[in-house]
Structure 1
């Protein structure tokens, strides 16, 4: 078993952000303990093959979480989202994060890096409250801490079978205004910021970073996908009643964006920290277009 202050416990390790962060840390030679619910899953086994130590744990079984933090010097924290038919379960999501923060502190962990959700220029009841409570726990932990707030992922274009954000028959449907630039970021760039914070805790202690790598209108993004993949994609803006059917938090996001309020990451400042921060065009050229083509051809 890997022990010592260099060991990073990565939660959400088989998810997008956790998996990308674990892989980056392992590639850099940093020991990683991956928190997983099923050590035999394909995602968990892939991490083990890459060199990660697997630790079985469940955020809803606090006694298993306490065991996973023992011997770790840092934790990359992404508690599972708690979202159901009635919207976000703020209490459950917050408790999951707060319990891990408490366990990390009790175990003598030195550093916490929490990845939550970006803030709007005017926040409202839209699903961020659970994550803000976790942020409060992180800031009040007495440990070294960094908070990452990523905006919408570029990888969302790869989603299938969702009410919004997938591309079906060459049409990308979403609730965002067609003419409003919407910020986005590549998942691996979130992982890159996490790696920076975990590598240099003193530099990033106490910092809250709103993360984005690019911004385009939904129409312009669809045109860029068309040009790079060679498959025509258009954008369809869904109406307010569609947002209302998805719940109160989604409706509030709809109304905020349609009143001109959106994410506000300082992309030039972020690029000073991470010069390799991807634009949407770069993401498409590197990996996105290749992954989109089978979807567009289906």
Structure 2
């Protein structure tokens, strides 16, 4: 029910895919309830990234509902903010939960896993939160599962976290002359939905997801054109 997952559901639903299951820690929270209203027919089921047994049960649900021989294709992601002591940032907690997803998928005999990682996680001098995702990638590759890995670059949507962006300034957020790669959550949702629907074509592949490459000045110019309420700086 998070940012990436909700966009994946949106694009699968728009393709008239039946039997979509959304796994969430709390099926009774408002966001979970909203899914069932916005996407009629989508089933919201319980599964905790810190409880392997609950994930195994969640991944087996389609077989119990439909047919023991049905294919189960899973979109999975991990985040360092999913720690049980609240939302403390923890790369170690991310790695643990990611490995748990892989182990649960293997135990539930999932057909294919699409894992959303991060771009450049295999490069030297990468942040520790990239290292944790690379370790999860390696765990997935070492498993008996069929897999595809998506590596999105920085999200456009992160800009909305900064109040100064809403007031027309990118200063201090991006370098004015240095180009950086960007992608939207919509792009990730569309790409993941494509792979989930045609996973045979993308088995054992790692795909970088990039929509644009812009400097800070170029971003400011584009946002100025879109906003039409004064120049971005």
Q: TM-score, normalised by structure 2?
A: 0.84
Instruction: Output aligned runs, 1:271-290, within 5 Å.
Output: none
Tell me the secondary structure at the aligned position of residue 167 of structure 1. helix
User: How far off is 1:122 after superposition?
Assistant: 4.2
Tell me the secondary structure at the aligned position of residue 128 of structure 1. helix
What is the aligned partner in structure 1 of residue 202 from structure 2?
204
- Mapped contact 1:71–1:109 kept (Cα < 8 A): no
Alignment of 1:220 with 2:218, yes or no, is: yes
Tell me the secondary structure at the aligned position of residue 215 of structure 1. strand
What is the aligned partner in structure 2 of residue 129 from structure 1?
131
User: How far off is 1:19 after superposition?
Assistant: 0.2
Instruction: Count how many residue pairs are aligned between Structure 1 and Structure 2.
Output: 216
Instruction: Output aligned runs, 1:24-173, within 5 Å.
Output: 24-30=11-17, 31-49=19-37, 50=39, 51-72=41-62, 73-82=72-81, 89-119=90-120, 122-126=123-127, 127-160=129-162, 167-173=165-171
Residue 185 to residue 66, structure 1, CA distance change in 2 (3 Å): same
Please give the per-residue CA displacement for 1:263-284, whole angstroms capped at 9, x wherever unaligned: xxxxxxxxxxxxxxxxxxxxxx
| Structure 1 unmatched runs, 5+ | 1-13, 236-298
Tell me the secondary structure at the aligned position of residue 173 of structure 1. coil
Residue 80 to residue 90, structure 1, CA distance change in 2 (3 Å): closer
Please give the per-residue CA displacement for 1:152-205, whole angstroms capped at 9, x wherever unaligned: 1122222245xxxx5153212345422011111111111111111111111101
RMSD in angstroms over aligned alpha carbons? 2.2
What is the aligned partner in structure 1 of residue 191 from structure 2?
193
- Mapped contact 2:122–2:134 kept (Cα < 8 A): no
What is the aligned partner in structure 2 of residue 266 from structure 1?
none
- Mapped contact 1:185–1:212 kept (Cα < 8 A): yes
- Mapped contact 1:144–1:201 kept (Cα < 8 A): no
Q: TM-score, normalised by structure 1?
A: 0.67
Please give the per-residue CA displacement for 1:51-106, whole angstroms capped at 9, x wherever unaligned: 2111122212222222111145111001232389xx95222111101111111111
Tell me the secondary structure at the aligned position of residue 28 of structure 2. coil
For 1:140 and 1:121, locate their aligned partners in 2 and report how far apart those are by CA, in whole Å: 16
Tell me the secondary structure at the aligned position of residue 132 of structure 2. helix
- Mapped contact 1:172–1:233 kept (Cα < 8 A): no
User: How far off is 1:144 after superposition?
Assistant: 1.7
For 2:122 and 2:48, locate their aligned partners in 1 and report how far apart those are by CA, in whole Å: 34
For 1:83 and 1:76, locate their aligned partners in 2 and report how far apart those are by CA, in whole Å: 17
For 1:17 and 1:97, locate their aligned partners in 2 and report how far apart those are by CA, in whole Å: 16
What is the aligned partner in structure 1 of residue 8 from structure 2?
21
